Amino acid sequence: MNTPFKLLVFTDMDGTLLDHHTYSWQSAISTISQLKLLNIPIICNTSKTYQEVKQLHFSLSLDSPFIVENGSAIFDSAPKNSNNNNSATQAEPMHLIGANRTDILDCLALARQKGFKFSGFNDWSVKQVIQHTGLNQTQAEQSAARAFSEPLIWQDTNVKKHEFIHFVEQYQYTALQGGRFLSVQGQCDKGQALKWYAKYYEQQTGQPVLTVALGDSGNDIAMLEAADVAVWIKSEKPFPQLNKIEQVYYSTKPGPKGWQQTMAHILHLYQSNQLVKTS
């Protein structure tokens, strides 16, 4: 390798590194292993919670930092030997960008009084979380352990949905549409979190970084715009539109198969010094 840049890979999880239906990453395992060998961090940047990512880190043997709840908070690496025994505990983030969930729930109670119709994690039992997500019991409990956001299912027209988004914005929150849920959170997104960590890494190591971001839906737009190299992973919906035009790649396969396909190509371009810094 003759590149002056350190590559940092930021990836969405659901529908991107994980299959939308089965949550499996197995199709991407050979490129994941290759990145590990090259000491290139795979930084999960996801709507998932701290508890969920910690478990995935354990399964994938990852020890990189990670970003949870749509850019709300950045955590240092989870211990490699972590397991479910201490699932009630949550570490302090190394950097917090988003808002406290209890404050978000206060705003949502007001929205309900105004007649907006939705149903969210706070309204559901673990059994209902399982029905809405297809997760198993443990995963559903980890997913329900939210600290910085509230995912909702919208139960009214699109016009009303836009009125609702405007309503929460008046209270300094945002509502982002992901693959499954409309997520209400602080004024943060995956792109701000990517930029913060890339800058932090450069300051800590003195090495310039080149960022890659992989995603599959609307809540990934900010992350892909913020990265030097953007990758859209094919999903059932059309690819969202980006303002960024340089170094944008599109997978022809969905989920981890598409991740494997595009990431292997980008790694080749990186190793032959064909990628440039655009951000």
**Residue 107 structure tokens:** 């705003």
- Beta carbon nearer to Mg ion, 44 or 209: 44
- Beta carbon nearer to Mg ion, 111 or 182: 182
For the annotated catalytic residues, the residue numbers are 12
* Residue in the block written with tokens 């991740």: 259
**What would you report as the CA-atom Rg of the chain, rounded to the nearest whole angstrom?**
18
Q: At 95, is the secondary structure helix, strand, or coil?
A: strand
Shortest reach from residue 239's CB to Mg ion, in Å: 13
By the 8 A CB rule, do 173 and 107 touch? yes
Question: Is beta strand 182-186 parallel, antiparallel or unpaired with respect to 149-154?
Answer: antiparallel
Burial group, residue 9, by CB count within 10 angstroms (0-12, 13-18, 19+): buried
- Beta carbon nearer to Mg ion, 107 or 235: 235
**Residue 80 structure tokens:** 């490699």
CA 16 – CA 67 distance, rounded (Å): 15
Shortest reach from residue 46's CB to Mg ion, in Å: 8
- Beta carbon nearer to Mg ion, 166 or 237: 237
Q: Which residues bind Mg ion (CB under 5 A)?
A: 12, 14-15, 179, 216-217
Nearest residue by C-beta to Mg ion? 15
Q: Half-sphere exposure of residue 102, counting CA atoms within 13 Å on the CB side?
A: 0
Shortest reach from residue 190's CB to Mg ion, in Å: 10
Q: Half-sphere exposure of residue 154, counting CA atoms within 13 Å on the CB side?
A: 20
Shortest reach from residue 16's CB to Mg ion, in Å: 5
Shortest reach from residue 172's CB to Mg ion, in Å: 25
What is the SS3 string spanning 29-84?
HHHHHHHHHCCCCEEEECCCCHHHHHHHHHHHCCCCCEEECCCCEEECCCCCCCCH
CA 62 – CA 58 distance, rounded (Å): 7
**Residue 64 structure tokens:** 């990189």
By the 8 A CB rule, do 44 and 8 touch? no
Shortest reach from residue 10's CB to Mg ion, in Å: 13
